[in-house]
Amino acid sequence: MNERTRILLEESILPPLVALAVAFIAGDLLILAYGQAPGAVWAALFEGTWGNAYGFGQVLYKATTLTCTGLAVAMSLRAGLFNIGAEGQLAAGGFGAAVTGLALPAGTPWIIAVPLCTLAACLAGGAVGAVPGVLRAKFGAHEVIVTIMSNFIVLALLNYIVSAKLHVPETLHTPEMHAGEVARLSGMIAGFHGSAANWTLAIVLGACVAVWWYLFRTRAGYELRAVGLQPGAAEYAGVKVGRTWRNALILSGALAGLGGVNFVLGYKGYYEDGFAGGAGFLGIAVALVGRNHPLGVLLAALFFATLSQGGLAINAMVPKQIVEALQGIVIIAVATSVPEVRRVLRDAAGKVAGGRA
């Protein structure tokens, strides 16, 4: 096996293959445990997601948020850091967008309002990401611990605001925005009618391209990846490691915050307590299966969005919670088997090349 095929296998084909296979096998077992026929359940899951326009619209909607949190985690991992704070950053982003939309005068044209709200979402997420970033750069505080704790702090703070300060009485959401709503895709493709898929998708696709460009075509991105691979070597080569870490976590937070636009501007028109609903944590799964590459993140987001929308489609046959268990199993399987298979492949390649590796 030559080097190119090996790398292609390792990086692009193996993780999704493992994810799919494990989801099917573990899913079969759980479905059988519930006393249903796996074939029928899988057929219903497929029919309810990719089989009709509404279901597919919902998959696109969920994938839009997951792409953002996946990109966020991927950005941090490329710098050798682990951002587990995407959940809080996503919520903060949504809140920032909602408050901006609320502050704008009614009738502000979308061409002004949407970019302003989107910018606010990124700034809010980036501000939350700046906390672990600065603490890491200045004090060496472990970003995993700080980001976990920051989730709880941000969510509690937002819960306080929408339950006591800025809310519609008897609800846990902010008042409806005056401006800044993003149109649904159903305006152009009638089949999507009723689904929450909206033009945020286009913004997020743009973000994928921008992240790819930043990571692989700019000097800052090159430095970020160098720091991620070997901080010591990067520092020796003149890269400011602390600053790179800080920037990576701010960018990561901003990307997670961008995900808030999908719910707030594209779907509800207000911030609602708990809207993140685990999408931040699933971003870890998305980045893992997507191998921290924007294109991979996009595809992995579609996969996890399909599972999560599919849960609703099969709820009449098996409890929808089956997909939450499946998502966990898929992450464990990919995290465990991919490094193992890579070691085996690498050993085999080493033998073929006469111990060159």
Partner 1 sequence: MSLLLFLAQTLRIAIPYLFAAAGGALAERAGIVSLTLEGFMLGGAFGAVLGAHYTGSAWVGLVTGVASGLLLAAIHAVCSIRYKADQIVVGVAINLFTVGITRFFLQLAFESSSNSPRVAGFGGDAGSGAAAFLTNPLVWAGIVVMPALWWLIRKTTFGLRVRAVGEHPQAAASVGVPVNRVRYAAVLGSGALAALGGVYLALDQHQFTDSMTAGRGFIALAAVIFGRWDPLRAGVACLLFAAAETLQIQLQSAQLIPSQFVAMIPYVLTIVAVAGVVGRSTPPAALGRTTD
CB of 52 or CB of 159, closer to partner 1? 159
Of 1, 295, 325, 352, the one binding partner 1 by CB under 8 A: 325
Determine the Cα–Cα distance for residues 301 and 298; give it in Å rounded to an integer.
Answer: 5
What does the angle CA 230 – CA 233 – CA 235 come to, to the nearest 5 degrees?
105
Q: Which two tokens stand for residue 281?
A: 């944590």
164 binds partner 1 (CB under 8 A): yes
Query: What residue type is 315 in one-letter code?
Result: N
Of 120, 123, 297, 329, the one binding partner 1 by CB under 8 A: 329
Which residues from 78-137 bind partner 1, rule CB under 8 A? 82, 84, 131, 135
- At residue 87, the 3 state secondary structure works out as helix
Q: How far is CA 114 from CA 37, 42, 69, 108, 109, in A?
A: 47, 39, 20, 9, 8
CB of 256 or CB of 285, closer to partner 1? 285
Q: Determine contact, residues 95/309, Cβ cutoff 8 Å.
A: no
CB of 135 or CB of 298, closer to partner 1? 135
CB of 117 or CB of 127, closer to partner 1? 127
Minimum Å gap between C-beta 48 and partner 1 is 19
Q: Determine contact, residues 249/118, Cβ cutoff 8 Å.
A: no
24 binds partner 1 (CB under 8 A): no
CB of 44 or CB of 261, closer to partner 1? 44
Determine the Cα–Cα distance for residues 192 and 58; give it in Å rounded to an integer.
Answer: 8
CB of 13 or CB of 33, closer to partner 1? 33
149 binds partner 1 (CB under 8 A): yes
278 binds partner 1 (CB under 8 A): yes
Minimum Å gap between C-beta 320 and partner 1 is 9
**All residues at 6 or more sequence positions from 266 whose CB lies less than 8 Å from its CB, including other chains:** 61, 64, 181, 182, 184, 196, 198, 199, 200
172 binds partner 1 (CB under 8 A): no
Q: Which two tokens stand for residue 191?
A: 């089949």
Residues lying near partner 1 in the complex (CB under 8 A) are found at 30, 33-34, 82, 84, 131, 135, 139-142, 144-146, 148-150, 152-153, 156-157, 159-160, 163-164, 278, 281-282, 284-285, 288, 319, 321-329, 331-332, 335-337, 339-340
